[in-house]
Amino acid sequence: MAIFKGAGVALVTPMKENLEVDYDKLAEILEDQIQNGTDSIIIVGTTGEASTLTIEEHLEVIRAAVSIVNKRIPVIAGTGSNCTKTAVDLSYQAQLAGADGLLVVTPYYNKATQKGLISHYTEIAKKVDIPIILYNVPGRTGCKIAPETAAALARDVDNIVGMKDAVGDISYTLRLMEQVQGDFDLYSGEDGQVIPLLACGGIGVISVLSNIAPRFTHDMVMNYLNGNREEALRMQLKALPLVDALFCEVNPIPVKAAMNLLGWEVGPLRAPLSEMEPENKKRLAKAMEEFGLLGSGK
């Protein structure tokens, strides 16, 4: 059984001006996401600035999200690392904290072989009982899970249940789904390719867009899954200019800027991320206005 179907939000981690995590703001954002139909919370992933949180902060944000959400929808914790032992420890602690599932990115920088990836993920999965979603984003990590590797993991490891596919190549996705032969949960990791991934057999998206348009993103996915595919495609096409603006600089720079434009006050970014360039921020604001976000409140 899938951890979730629909739209999961790859949630930002709000910061105070002094760059401490703002847990009060986190609670406010989580409540809004739930009220607006988001189907799952993905906490401390790429969008949540996991790479610049300390281990203690990382786990505390997971604990806070689990407590606030209180089983109303699934909470999936990002627990990947380029060190297998660190990923194992984070995953085990996330399970103890009450996470419903894990999102585990490929080990970045090391550029593991496919044999190394199988060993890495198998070692993590042996230490936890909750389901694991592989996170395949070679543009960030320099490491790509081959379709055959995903199929071997899905076949041989009971709690490896799916993939967040951010490869950006539909041919790869089709080969993946041919290899896994059915019982494998595919989630789009690209907000500009949600409907194409669903057409390949996907069941949802892990979305940056959901931070600022949660109801829209949920409705787009559910329209497709419920058979209203023309409307789902119309919504995907409508979202494209906004999605392009949300990724005109490296994520999560633009989405945090967008949330601040909407009045969420999610604070600054931790270095080495920097604030959005003025010309790109104007482009983002224009896209948000044309989409219908600015001027209408949260």
Spatial separation of the C-alpha atoms in residues 48 and 14, rounded to whole Å: 8
CA atoms within 13 Å, Cβ hemisphere of 51:
15
* Identified catalytic residue from 25, 121, 144, 164: 164
* Identified catalytic residue from 135, 172, 187, 224: 135
Q: Collect all residues with Cβ–Cβ distance below 8 Å to 109 and sequence separation of at least 6.
A: 82, 141, 142
| b/e code 225-262 from CB counts within 10 Å (16+ = b) | beeeeeebbebbeebeebbebbbbbebbbbbbbbbbbb
Instruction: Check if 135 is active-site.
Output: yes
Q: Which amino acid is it at 286?
A: K
Q: Long-range contacts of range 53-62, CB-CB < 8 Å, 24 or more positions apart?
A: 53/13, 53/21, 53/270, 55/86, 55/90, 57/21, 58/90, 59/90, 59/93, 59/94, 59/97, 60/21, 61/13, 61/21, 61/26, 62/93, 62/94, 62/97, 62/99
Spatial separation of the C-alpha atoms in residues 205 and 193, rounded to whole Å: 9
Spatial separation of the C-alpha atoms in residues 100 and 112, rounded to whole Å: 27
**Known catalytic residues?**
135, 164
